[in-house]
Amino acid sequence: MRKLVLASALSGAMLSLAACSGAAEETAETTDAAAVETTDDAAAAQTAAVLDANLATAAQLAAVDGVSEELAAAIVAGQPYASVTGLNAVLVETLGDDEAAQVLVDVFVPVNLNSGTEEEIRLIPGMTDKMVHEFEEYRPYSDMGVFEREIGKYVGEDEVERFKNYVTL
């Protein structure tokens, strides 16, 4: 999404400069190609990202492995979710615990680092008992930098980045 905004801003600047230099047609073609490429990049990044169950549409949810159109409609009907436990309850009504856990990898309600319950933290994909303790031990988090530094003592940078998909302040 940031790429798309940046591309839009750059496109506007390039068009302004092109108008002044007399090369507007050439720049417009280049800008259009860059916008298409950036849109493709943004779509790929959005697909790889974790969907926020409170913001996702039924179509986005139905595109997730393990989510039927009926389940997607049920998830949307339950919006907004106060926490991931509410989303998980909707999932386990239709799916088993293991299948629900698989869906939570791609669809989640971010857990507030400072107020999330142990049950909510445990629903974060890949969470271990030790990590639950570490998440709670460093409260209160003043910013995500503190989270990165403290949790980064126990897991690698890639894992910290992955966890950031499931948490908020």
Q: Which of 60, 90, 109 is the last residue of a domain?
A: 109
Look at the chain and report how many structural domains it folds into: 3
User: Is a pLDDT exceeding 60 seen at residue 39?
Assistant: no
34 near 8, Cβ under 8 Å? no
Which range has the worst mean pLDDT, 10-24, 97-111, 122-136, 146-160? 10-24
Convert the pLDDT of each residue in 106-120 to its tens digit: 999 999 999 999 999
44 with 55, same domain: the answer is no
The pLDDT > 90 percentage for the chain reads: 69
Our CA dihedral for 140, 146, 116, 75, rounded to 10 degrees, sits at: 150
- In tens, the pLDDT along 43-82 reads 334 445 899 999 999 999 999 999 999 999 999 999 999 9
Query: pLDDT per residue over 119-144, tens digit each?
Result: 999 999 999 999 999 999 999 999 99
Work out the average pLDDT over 140-169: 95
Does one domain contain both 114 and 102?
Answer: no
Do 74 and 128 fall within a single domain? no
Domain span including residue 146: 110-169
Is the domain of 35 the same as that of 82?
no
40 band by pLDDT with thresholds 50, 70 and 90: very low
Alpha-carbon distance 53 to 84, whole Å? 9
Using the predicted structure, report yes or no on whether residue 38 has a pLDDT greater than 80. Answer: no
Cα 41 to chain center, whole Å?
15
State the pLDDT at residue 49: 86
162 and 138 within one domain? yes
Residues 116, 169 within the same domain: yes
pLDDT value at residue 48: 56
d(CA 14, CA 53): 37
- How much is the mean pLDDT over the chain? 80
